[in-house]
Structure 1
Amino acid sequence: MNRTFSLSRAPVLLVGVLAMLLASLGFASVAHAERIKDLGAFQGVRPNQLVGYGIVVGLAGTGDDSLDYSTQGMKGVVSRFGLNLPQGVNPALKNAAAVLVTADLPAFAKPGQLLDVTVSALGKAKSLRGGTLVMTPLRGADGQIYAMSQGSLAVGGLGVSGADGSQVSVNVPSAGRIPGGATVEQAVATGFDTAPTLTFNLAEADLTTALRVADGINRAFGDRRAHAQDAVSIVINADPGAEQRITMMGMIENIEVQPADAAAKVIVNARTGTVVINGAVRIAPAAVAHGKLTVTVSESPRVVQPAPFSQGQTAIEPSSSISVEQEKKPMINFKGGASLADIVKAINAIGASPADLVAILEAMKQAGAMKAELVVL
């Protein structure tokens, strides 16, 4: 019997002296200007979520059967046409299903425009394939109706079941979409044309980027109409009126500015061994040693026979053998200004696994040899 123990040792020596910017070397990306419209959006100019409860009919026996909320929904549908089901009668709705209908209402959407909707089964319907959504109102967070939805579903999934209970499902047959299946009934007031000022919000908070966006707007218009309120919001003075503001917003969106460099970060996914290092990471001179210690224990028991006529008993005598093997790996010296390619080559040379790489990065952070935020997912 052999038992082998492998002990991976973390780096034994890490010395930080002077931080160097890896972004200035070969692997760093060249800074370039971006349009303001790609950095964020104007406050109030955003989509709104809509949701509704409806009934899908025309299913081939894959509906909700006799669930109470499906029955109540069907009673509500037929009541629109002056029909009333007898009291206490609950039809078996195998060809109908209760669903939730969701859609996004874009900014500036006007009555009559079409929206794509997603229809999802609410109960135990097996498939919505071949179904038709009955006219369903879609409401916003304020409870008002902003769109009406109706149409035939496009379902990408498939579900088949046998009499013995066996089932086969491809994708998700209990959800589908209706392209252009909703009609906008009323627009959402954005208030951008009546607000005292316009506010542009960055997608990612950064003080330097906010200042550069404000400066870019001021240079383009030749005045001081924009100022950074905080790390996200840039407040812009604008004349009232939709036409004037639309013109100015269009011009602002196409102004190019150079966003600030991202904060130095090293992202480590401990589960998958993925390590991502951005271009702002600073590396100081450091030395890394990595070794692998293997301990092998071999068990070779022997059977001992007694001498003839000695009245002894047969016994088993244990015999163990222990061997230690250590791979000798050279110490790697990271000089100041080492490129990412040099670091990867060195770590591969010493045979570091993803787990060892994580340990090396953590040790470099603790030793002050890596000027970056280490984020472990």
Structure 2
Amino acid sequence: MLIRILIATALCLALMAPAHANPRIKDIADIEGVRDNQLVGYGLVVGLDGSGDTLRNSAFTRQSLNSLMERFNVNIRDADLRTGNVAAVLVTAHLPPFATQGSRMDVTVSAMGDASSLQGGVLIATPLMGADGQVYAVAQGSIAVGGFSAQGAGASITRGVPTNGRISNGAIIERELRFDLASRDEIRLALRNPDFTTARRMADAINAYIGTGTAHASDPATVVVSRPASFAGDMVSLVADVEQLRVAADMRARVVIDESTGTIVMGENVRVSTVAIAQGNLTITVSETPIASQPGAFSEGETVVLPRTQVTAEEDAMQLGVLQGTVSLRELVDGLNALGVSPRDMITILQTIKAAGALQAEIEVL
């Protein structure tokens, strides 16, 4: 009951919220061309306490170790190596937009072979390449692992994922991605949730603030913004002003269902036509109470166990509930709660209403 009161209070506050509660343009749209870039590299982690790769099972680790030692004029190709302190890893990172040469970024380190943990390891200098094959950063440093693993002769315990770690500020950017935003005369704003209504509202808000003809929606996912000749600043100043504008973002009527956890999320535009709903559960109980049959006195019989099964069936008596047509989200929730159904039963009811053509919304099952 307390949860229902809190939900109802939150809905009332949302309906009573002032206009400034609308999201900013910077929170619902991205600037085309201003984005992260994925980097990846292959390297070695050393200094592990016997939890590294088994060289006999991980040929790539052995070859990488041979190549590393040859750079220091040490030949170990014919040696029978049995060290467990080295592990081959993949290093991944996101190169942020407008990152300058010499700045740092975080990297993630993941084991490739049969290493059991990267705790205490140090990543040797690893070049990080982009999709074009160019090196954009070099990563190196001590790995911080959130999980741990411990084992003894007869038992073991593992918490988290000890074969995956992170190095904070572990990569130095060596190459920049040029994007001259200041000299541009036009930018394109890409909506994260494309919608015709939201795109038009965004263009109208920009035109009302900067001037008519500054922005127009070319499609439901893109708003083109041009820098007017009368604007005093450059494109960076224009973007700084535009991204602070607030727009009422519209959305499609949608019901999102996660069947694994029984979670249901419904948008405010969900509507239901007039429909009658009856929901009941059939419970069947099977109980076994075996009994022992003893032979008579001084007889040659044997004691046997006889099965005794009892089966009962109970069906909940539920009345037929009616949801009036074009009800609001709050009325829909109240009507379903009045039926006394659980979240998982509510999932089935929503899917059945949709099949009957009475749910005016899209159902998305995760």
Residue 119 of structure 1: aligned partner: 109
Q: Deviations over 1:142-168 (max 9, x none)?
A: 11111111111112222223245x422
Residue 158 of structure 2: aligned partner: 169
**Of 131, 150, 154, which aligns to 2:121?**
131
Residue 201 of structure 1: aligned partner: 190
1:27–1:279 CA contact under 8 A, matched in 2 = no
Q: CA deviation at 1:322?
A: 10
Residue 248 of structure 2: aligned partner: 258
Instruction: State how far apart, in whole Å, the 2-side matches of 1:324 and 1:128 are.
Output: 56
Is 1:360 equivalent to 2:319 in the alignment?
Answer: no
Change (3 A) 1:172 1:345: same
Change (3 A) 1:163 1:294: closer
**Of 115, 133, 146, which aligns to 1:143?**
133
Counterparts in 2 of 1:31-50, with a 5 A limit?
32-50=21-39
**SS, match of residue 74 in structure 1:** helix
Q: Deviations over 1:300-345 (max 9, x none)?
A: xxxxxxxxxxxxxxxxxxxxx9998765433323345655555445
**SS, match of residue 349 in structure 2:** helix
Comparing 277-286 and 46-55, the one that deviates more: 277-286
Residue 88 of structure 2: aligned partner: 98
Unaligned runs of 5+ in 2: 1-10, 288-309
Quick one: which amino acid aligns to residue 59 of structure 2? D
Instruction: State how far apart, in whole Å, the 1-side matches of 2:157 and 2:349 are.
Output: 47
**Of 238, 244, 250, which aligns to 1:248?**
238
Change (3 A) 1:84 1:105: same
Is 1:56 equivalent to 2:45 in the alignment?
Answer: yes
Comparing 339-348 and 62-71, the one that deviates more: 339-348
TM-score calculated relative to the size of structure 2: 0.78
1:145–1:185 CA contact under 8 A, matched in 2 = yes
Unaligned runs of 5+ in 1: 1-24, 299-320
**SS, match of residue 69 in structure 2:** helix
Q: CA deviation at 1:72?
A: 1.9
Q: Deviations over 1:218-249 (max 9, x none)?
A: 22111312111111111222389xx7121111
Q: CA deviation at 1:28?
A: 6.6
Instruction: State how far apart, in whole Å, the 2-side matches of 1:64 and 1:359 are.
Output: 49
Residue 275 of structure 1: aligned partner: 264
2:99–2:176 CA contact under 8 A, matched in 1 = yes
2:69–2:76 CA contact under 8 A, matched in 1 = no
Residue 374 of structure 1: aligned partner: 363
Comparing 274-283 and 181-190, the one that deviates more: 274-283
Is 1:107 equivalent to 2:97 in the alignment?
Answer: yes
Change (3 A) 1:144 1:324: closer
1:26–1:339 CA contact under 8 A, matched in 2 = no
TM-score calculated relative to the size of structure 1: 0.76
Change (3 A) 1:214 1:94: same
Is 1:70 equivalent to 2:42 in the alignment?
Answer: no
**SS, match of residue 100 in structure 2:** coil
Quick one: which amino acid aligns to residue 142 of structure 1? D
1:128–1:175 CA contact under 8 A, matched in 2 = yes
- Equivalent pairs, count: 328
Comparing 209-218 and 336-345, the one that deviates more: 336-345
2:183–2:234 CA contact under 8 A, matched in 1 = no
Is 1:80 equivalent to 2:71 in the alignment?
Answer: yes
Change (3 A) 1:269 1:147: closer
Instruction: State how far apart, in whole Å, the 1-side matches of 2:283 and 2:151 are.
Output: 54
Larger Rg, first or second structure (1 or 2): 1
User: Identity percentage over the alignment?
Assistant: 41
Instruction: State how far apart, in whole Å, the 2-side matches of 1:205 and 1:268 are.
Output: 21
1:54–1:101 CA contact under 8 A, matched in 2 = yes
Q: CA deviation at 1:118?
A: 1.2
Higher RCO (CA-CA < 8 Å; seq separation 6+): 1
Residue 298 of structure 2: aligned partner: none
Q: Deviations over 1:11-50 (max 9, x none)?
A: xxxxxxxxxxxxxx95974574221100121011111111
Q: Deviations over 1:281-306 (max 9, x none)?
A: 123343333455678999xxxxxxxx
Instruction: State how far apart, in whole Å, the 2-side matches of 1:59 and 1:107 are.
Output: 34
2:182–2:235 CA contact under 8 A, matched in 1 = yes
Residue 233 of structure 1: aligned partner: 222
Q: CA deviation at 1:277?
A: 2.2
Quick one: which amino acid aligns to residue 246 of structure 1? V
Q: CA deviation at 1:363?
A: 3.9
Change (3 A) 1:363 1:117: closer
2:214–2:228 CA contact under 8 A, matched in 1 = no
**Of 156, 171, 183, which aligns to 2:146?**
156
Change (3 A) 1:322 1:134: closer
